[in-house]
Amino acid sequence: MTDHHHDCGHDHDHDAEEFDTIILTDDEGHDHEFLHLDTLEVEGSTYFVLMPISDQESEDEEADEAIILKLGRDQDGNEMLLDIEDDEEWEKVADAWENMEDEE
């Protein structure tokens, strides 16, 4: 886990207490908050399933979709979360997460 991305001390009104909160910074330096829903291990790689936390409370909260990011390392060896570029890899991870959800 990367300490600079991980921030677990937030309370939210929408039953987020059971999930950790992760703050990711985009390429333009903007912070975005996510709920860490799950961690998956698929074919030797680690993936995080995250749900965006929107700033404005909307009545249609189902509009938010979970995203899946791959745990990787930058050139300095620091852990970072990466977009999954390969469609086939993304499908495997999404299927694995759906199967886990079905088992609960």
Query: What would the pLDDT profile of 39-90 be if each residue is shown by its tens digit?
Result: 999 999 999 999 998 755 554 555 568 899 999 998 999 988 999 999 999 9
Tell whether 81 is covered by a domain. yes
Q: What's the number of domains the chain is made of?
A: 1
Q: Establish if 95 belongs to a structural domain.
A: yes
Taking the whole predicted model, whether its pTM rises above 0.85 is answered as: no
What does the pLDDT read at residue 57? Answer: 53
Location of structure tokens 């912070």: 31
Residue at 53 is within a domain: yes
Would you mind telling me the total number of residues written for the chain in this entry?
A: 104
- The CA distance from 68 to 84, in Å, is 8
Other beta carbons less than 10 A from residue 34's beta carbon: 23
* The one-letter amino acid at 75: Q
Residue 92 in any domain: the answer is yes
Residue 39 covered by a domain: yes
Tell me, yes or no, whether 5 lies in a domain.
no
Domain range spanning residue 30? 20-103
